[in-house]
Amino acid sequence: MAYIATYAHQAGFDVGVLDAEAHGLGLAQTTDLINTARPRWVGMNLLAPPYELSARIAAGLVDGIALVVGGRQPLWPP
């Protein structure tokens, strides 16, 4: 995600990166921060262990925020 954020920033987009785990944020805090910022897009790196947590954050996003996913398991479970 950092590579994509860097590229987007260099292309002139306003970019923010939030590592909720590193900051010890819970699901509600993370979702509230994202919804308050009202970004056009939110990108998530999906890995198997926190997959359900990412899905719960995505489900809590307000209308109008597009979700972009990547990582090793963006389509898991099938």
Q: Is residue 77 part of a domain?
A: no
Q: Is residue 60 part of a domain?
A: yes
Q: Is residue 78 part of a domain?
A: no
CA 62, chain centre distance (Å): 13
The percentage of residues in the chain with a pLDDT greater than 90, rounded to a whole number, is 58
Q: Which pLDDT band holds residue 52 (cuts at 50, 70, 90)?
A: confident
CA 70, chain centre distance (Å): 10
By 3-state DSSP, what share of the chain in percent is helix, strand and coil, each rounded to 5? 35, 15, 45
pTM for this model (two decimals): 0.78
What is the domain range of residue 43? 2-71
Number of structural domains in the chain: 1
Q: Is residue 33 part of a domain?
A: yes
Beta carbons of 64 and 42 less than 8 angstroms apart? no
Q: Which residue has the higher pLDDT, 10 or 49?
A: 10
Q: Does residue 77 carry a pLDDT above 70?
A: no
